[in-house]
Structure 1
């Protein structure tokens, strides 16, 4: 009797086939993992390249910023240096000009005292004529601001017009620069305004209080003051 074998009835063949299929699946799975790993590596490489590129751009921007700041500071330093040199040159010129003026004033008979030059006239004029002469010299009748200046003006031992008057408003004494009188050195009984005495002179030399009001048309010597510092 002839026996007939069916394919499913061959256990060895089925086992071999299953092993082949399992091996093929394993090979495919390994290849997929390799492909996935390769793709992941490529993605990581690209990400690293992007980050590196960004860092390079950031570094380049930082370098450009630092260079711009450096050049700006250099230009500012140059401008400041030029300004300082110009200021120094101006101060030097002003100093030299002041020296020339001081020398000229000294030669013309002006006397220096505490920031001002003083000129004592050798002729006599009215108060307004005396002031006009001071103004022509670039000065004005003296304004006495301290006891030391009062003592200085008395040492010349001359009757001298000073820059004090109440000609605009009676009894409101003002200096020629428009400031009101605050500290005074009137002689006893002065001012008395006899016969319209609206201008002030230094009349006495020994006492500290030496001022006297006098008629502005009286002809006296006078004292000019030219300030050379505030």
Structure 2
């Protein structure tokens, strides 16, 4: 990923936070048959390894887990993004030398991927992933709420994955390269949008 210095994010805690906020990732592997990608919810175990370890699962029918990767796998996490109109820059009135751009948040996690079929490990992954996303609900659903035999049967239809992160790349492109007045103009323009994602980006633009 191309990351100019103004947009680089190197703080481990910040990168982990961006990954958690993204919720859905794309797992990409390079194989003898070409690139393969699958959108997946993953959870991060930050205490495992220098950069943390990712866990998730994919359908057993998905051929990606059967195709040996030729190198590291990559998990792509994307956060809020928004189109930035040059009309929001006060500097437009001064010299007209402005163009549209896009603001966004992205994290790329690289590492060797392991696929596994062990039922107990799968149950742990499914339980942790479910608990993560059910926890905020007033009445959380738990894997244990379903009959054990039913859950065991469902586990036979998936394959687990573990990706110990060898390196992380983070990019937070939020108009940091613009003057304060231009940043304020972008934030105001996005804050007035009907799109929730635009308003989320507005809140991330530095003052």
Same fold (TM over 0.5): no
The bucket for the TM-score relative to the shorter chain is: under 0.3
- The structure, 1 or 2, with the larger RCO (C-alpha pairs under 8 Å, 6+ apart) is 2
Larger Rg belongs to:
1
Scaled by the length of structure 1, what TM-score is found?
0.18
Which one has the bigger strand percentage?
2
Scaled by the length of structure 2, what TM-score is found?
0.19
